[in-house]
């Protein structure tokens, strides 16, 4: 075995997987995992841990894999990361834990994410979830939104003895984990298992409840909630604001992925929600959302082009997903920026006018900016376009709490303890940070739980 190289992991062949929505990566077997764990140097100062936003005890859990103590390893990860099966799959490891791995200096870094995922999958398949209910402390917390921030906050609070209710606008739970990230990257079964466990812990879930429409802060107070955690995500799709964006055949990535993931339009007509996609599809953007949209479109049988303003090197998407997309035959058109959509008389889009872009020298922050090249416009024909240029916080929450203080970009303003300007109301996840990552959202949910506990304990003392 070459210690500089990772133990290879089995994946579905590109030629097969573009015809199904099954998970691409099969994950390690116990032996493979133990072998990969052997490569870990058990560094004393463990730089990998510093790269992880929630400081997973990486050398410790890997050591336990080495010893094939998978259950113990799972609980070791759980000490700081509630959702290892999910983070192991979707974290941008190459810029976090794995980027700092000492093994990476000469060879390939330890496959920390893949190991994390292995342990969690092993546990899910081999063990029963057990939970000894703590003594209820008689206090109630309401959580708005069932994405990773809300789920982790609920879990932490439930362990402390709180009575927790999660209110979710949709008919399905999990937030972006359910309606955004597709099945072939994150099987819904994994998300559902986590949610079932929360239910076993006594967390109450109420779907079809929209904060700002179905209920507001006043209703929560009347129902006796002592504190509120808002984790409603960044769900508002950004558009390009260029000519022709109203044409048929142009989807926001949110609409496209919602139709597919939440409404199962890829199973139409067994499922009633339709989706229409022609032979050739252009996806605008370079992040995870663009990759997911492109790869879904590929699986629906289209020829797919990613249209990106910069070059592949600057794409914010995870490297692994860019690689997977390319393996699946998706083409990347670099250095182009949309100018206007062109449609036919029936109101259907036929093409997108693009202008070529040029990268400038690195600025002081090391980022290279782009400028349009005058007169380089050209027309890119396609049957559909998917706009994946980011999401902003949805303004609905503001309607539920008119006094809530926001930042200029519409995100919720919080202090160090994640409390908003309204006492007892906390916020975290994408609604605070803007579109970010699962692990950050999860970390904030946990931190909010600790602060909610501190706040309510202090309040109790005041009242005595």
Partner 1 sequence: MNEIVIKQNIVPNVWLMGIYSPQVAKKAKPGQFVILRVTETGERIPLTIADFDSDKGIVFIIFQVVGKTTSILSTLNIGDSIADFVGPLGMPYEQDSNDKSYLFIAGGLGIPAIYSKVKMLHSQGKDIEIIVGGRSKENIFFEEELRKYCSSLYISTNDGSYGQKGLVTDILTQLLENGKRYDEIFAVGPVLMMKAVVDITKKYGIKTLVSLNPIMVDGTGMCGGCRVKIGNEIKFACVDGPIFNGFEVDFDGLMKRNSYYQDLENLSYKEHKCKIGLGE
Q: Which parts of this chain interact with ligand SF4 (CB under 6 A)?
A: 40-43, 46-48, 52, 54, 56, 58-59, 81, 87-88, 91, 93, 96-97, 101-103, 110, 112-113, 116, 439
Long-range contacts of 342-348 (CB under 8 A, 24+ apart): 342/244, 342/379, 343/244, 343/247, 343/248, 346/248, 347/247, 347/248, 348/247, 348/248, 348/249
Binds 270, which of ligand SF4, partner 1, ligand FAD, none (CB < 5 to 8 A, cut-off by type)?
partner 1
Cα angle: 382, vertex 384, 389; to 5 degrees: 110
Tokens found for residue 287: 């992040």
Q: If binding is defined by CB under 8 A, does position 261 make contact with partner 1?
A: no
The residue (of 272 and 362) whose beta carbon lies closer to partner 1 is 272
- Show Cβ contacts of residue 447 under 8 Å, excluding neighbours closer than 6 positions: 418, 428
Smallest gap from Cβ 91 to ligand SF4, in A, equals 3
C-beta separation of 45 from 85 below 8 A:
no
Q: x/- binding map, residues 134-173, to partner 1, per CB under 8 A? A: -----------------------------------xxx--
Smallest gap from Cβ 241 to ligand SF4, in A, equals 35
C-alpha 307/C-alpha 303 separation (Å) is: 13
Name the pairing type of β-strands 368-372 and 336-343.
unpaired
The residue (of 90 and 332) whose beta carbon lies closer to ligand SF4 is 90
The residue (of 118 and 178) whose beta carbon lies closer to partner 1 is 178
Binds 393, which of partner 1, ligand FAD, ligand SF4, none (CB < 5 to 8 A, cut-off by type)?
none
Binds 150, which of partner 1, ligand FAD, ligand SF4, none (CB < 5 to 8 A, cut-off by type)?
ligand FAD
Q: What is the dihedral of CA 225, 54, 316, 111, to 10 degrees?
A: -140
- Show Cβ contacts of residue 237 under 8 Å, excluding neighbours closer than 6 positions: 252, 253, 254, 255, 387, 391
C-alpha 431/C-alpha 235 separation (Å) is: 9
Tell me which stretch binds partner 1 (CB under 8 A): 9-17, 112-120, 271-279, 370-378. 271-279
- Show Cβ contacts of residue 421 under 8 Å, excluding neighbours closer than 6 positions: 403, 404, 405, 413
The residue (of 24 and 54) whose beta carbon lies closer to ligand SF4 is 54
Smallest gap from Cβ 321 to ligand FAD, in A, equals 7
C-beta separation of 405 from 427 below 8 A:
no
For ligand FAD, the binding residues (CB under 6 A) are 90-91, 144-150, 167-170, 175-176, 180-181, 210-212, 231-233, 235, 257, 288-289, 292, 318, 394, 396-397, 429-431, 435-439, 441
Binds 268, which of ligand FAD, partner 1, ligand SF4, none (CB < 5 to 8 A, cut-off by type)?
partner 1
Tokens found for residue 441: 């959202």
Q: If binding is defined by CB under 8 A, does position 245 make contact with partner 1?
A: yes
Can you spell out the DSSP letters for 45-61? S-HHHHHSTT---HHHH
Q: If binding is defined by CB under 8 A, does position 263 make contact with partner 1?
A: yes
- Show Cβ contacts of residue 461 under 8 Å, excluding neighbours closer than 6 positions: none
Smallest gap from Cβ 373 to ligand FAD, in A, equals 31
Smallest gap from Cβ 437 to ligand SF4, in A, equals 9
Which one of 138, 269, 366, 375 is in contact with partner 1 (CB under 8 A)?
Answer: 269
Tokens found for residue 451: 């602060």
> Footprint of partner 1 on this chain (CB under 8 A)?
169-171, 207-210, 213-215, 235-237, 239, 241, 245-246, 248-249, 251-252, 254-255, 258-259, 263-264, 268-274, 276, 346-347, 394-396
């Amino acid at each position: 075995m070459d210690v500089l190289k990772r133990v290879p992991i089995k994946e579905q062949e590109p030629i097969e997987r573009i015809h199904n929505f099954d998970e691409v990566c099969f994950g390690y077997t116990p032996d493979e995992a133990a072998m990969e764990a052997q490569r870990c140097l058990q560094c004393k100062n463990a730089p990998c841990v510093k790269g992880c936003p929630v400081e997973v005890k990486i050398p410790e859990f890997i050591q336990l894999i080495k010893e094939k103590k998978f259950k113990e390893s799972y609980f070791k990860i759980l000490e700081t990361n509630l959702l290892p099966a999910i983070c192991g799959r979707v974290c941008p490891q190459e810029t976090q834990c794995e980027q700092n791995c000492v093994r990476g200096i000469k060879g390939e870094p330890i496959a920390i994410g893949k190991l994390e995922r292995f342990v969690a999958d092993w546990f899910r398949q081999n063990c029963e979830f057990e939970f000894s209910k703590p003594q209820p402390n008689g206090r109630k917390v309401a959580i708005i939104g069932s994405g990773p921030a809300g789920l982790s906050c609920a879990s932490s609070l439930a362990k402390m003895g709180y009575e927790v209710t999660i209110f979710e606008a949709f008919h399905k739970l999990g937030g972006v984990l359910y309606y955004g990230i597709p099945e072939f990257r994150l099987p819904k079964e994994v998300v559902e298992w986590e949610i079932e466990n929360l239910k076993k812990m006594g967390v109450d879930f109420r779907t079809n409840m929209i904060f700002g429409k179905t209920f507001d802060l006043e209703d929560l107070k009347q129902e006796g909630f002592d504190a509120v955690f808002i984790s409603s995500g960044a769900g508002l799709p950004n558009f390009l604001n260029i000519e022709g964006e109203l044409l048929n055949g142009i989807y926001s990535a949110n609409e496209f992925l919602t139709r597919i993931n939440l409404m199962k339009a890829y199973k139409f007509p067994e499922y009633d929600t339709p989706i229409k996609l022609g032979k050739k599809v252009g996806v605008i953007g370079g992040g995870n959302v663009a990759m997911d949209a492109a790869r879904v479109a590929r699986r629906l049988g289209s020829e797919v082009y990613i249209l990106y303003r910069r070059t592949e090197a600057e794409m914010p998407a995870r490297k692994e997903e860019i690689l997977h997309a390319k393996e699946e035959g998706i083409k990347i058109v670099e250095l182009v920026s949309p100018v206007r959509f062109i449609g036919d008389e029936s109101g259907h889009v036929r093409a997108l006018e693009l202008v070529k872009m040029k990268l400038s020298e690195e600025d002081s922050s090391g980022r290279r900016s782009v400028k349009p090249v005058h007169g380089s416009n050209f027309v890119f024909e396609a049957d559909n376009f998917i706009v994946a240029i980011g999401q902003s916080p949805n303004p609905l929450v503001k309607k539920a709490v008119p006094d809530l203080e926001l930042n200029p970009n519409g995100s919720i303003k919080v202090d160090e303890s994640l409390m908003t300007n309204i006492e007892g109301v906390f916020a975290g996840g994408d609604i605070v940070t803007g579109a970010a990552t699962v692990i950050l959202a999860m970390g904030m949910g946990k931190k909010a739980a600790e602060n909610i506990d501190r706040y309510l304990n202090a309040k109790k003392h005041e009242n005595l």
